Amino acid sequence: MELVIPAPANITTRDRLILAARDLFWSAGYESTTLAEIVKKAEVNSGSLYYFFKTKEELLLAVLDWYMENLFPQLIEPIIAHISDPIERVFALLDGYRKALIATGCTYGCPIGNLTLELGDSLPRAREKLAKNFEGWRQWVHKFLDEAGPRLPKNLDRNEVATFVLTVMEGGVMQSRAQQSLEPFDAGVRQLRTYFYLLTGERPAPVQ
């Protein structure tokens, strides 16, 4: 199944190339995707590609910049708009990944996680941007935990808890893909719910 985020109308040629590469890197992987495939999907000519990006790696870096720039409008802003409880915002963020697993029959893979596993340290500049993408995600969870204020223990290391939440998400997605089942993801989230219950003394929300 090809994984695609709809592109906005009336976008520039450069953005068309970035979005085409984003979708192909996500669905097929970086190494398996050719520049010819990107040009075809973007519906531009090869001259346009080389005008904006001298190499495939440069295009990858632009894709990783796109993910960083769109973390807030794509993932965070809708949660903030609809959920006021900061701890529930953490679980709403996780639920977005669960919905993606459902929509793709457990074939969904976090695009940043996928690229990290594929590339390793073969492209150091890309690895740095991948780490910054994870850090941006983690910082938002950290912010939500800070906003919970005295509901969480004063001496709690919120930075480490935010890292733990990211680990639950990435590990749950990977295991659910491998097992073709939501259960590994759900099991991780249930245990995270229990952990927050122990921290706050607030009864976990009922399982949907």
The structural domains of the chain, with segments of one domain joined by +, span: 8-54, 65-200
Give the three-class secondary structure for 112: helix
pLDDT more than 90, % of the chain: 91
Instruction: Specify whether the CB–CB gap between 126 and 58 falls below 8 A.
Output: no
CB 59 within 8 A of CB 38: yes
pLDDT band at 204 (very low <50, low <70, confident <90, very high): low
Query: 3-class DSSP state for residue 162?
Result: helix
Q: Looking at domain 8-54, what is its CATH homologous superfamily?
A: Homeodomain-like (1.10.10.60)
Q: Quick one: 65-200 is in which CATH superfamily?
A: Tetracycline Repressor, domain 2 (1.10.357.10)
pLDDT at 1 over 90: no
**Other beta carbons less than 10 A from residue 116's beta carbon:** 18
- For residues 74 and 112, the answer to whether their CB atoms sit within 8 Å is no
Q: Is the pLDDT reported for residue 208 higher than 70?
A: no
Q: Write down the mean pLDDT value for the chain.
A: 93
What percent of the chain has pLDDT above 70?
A: 93
d(CA 198, CA 200): 6
Residue 205 scores a pLDDT above 90: no
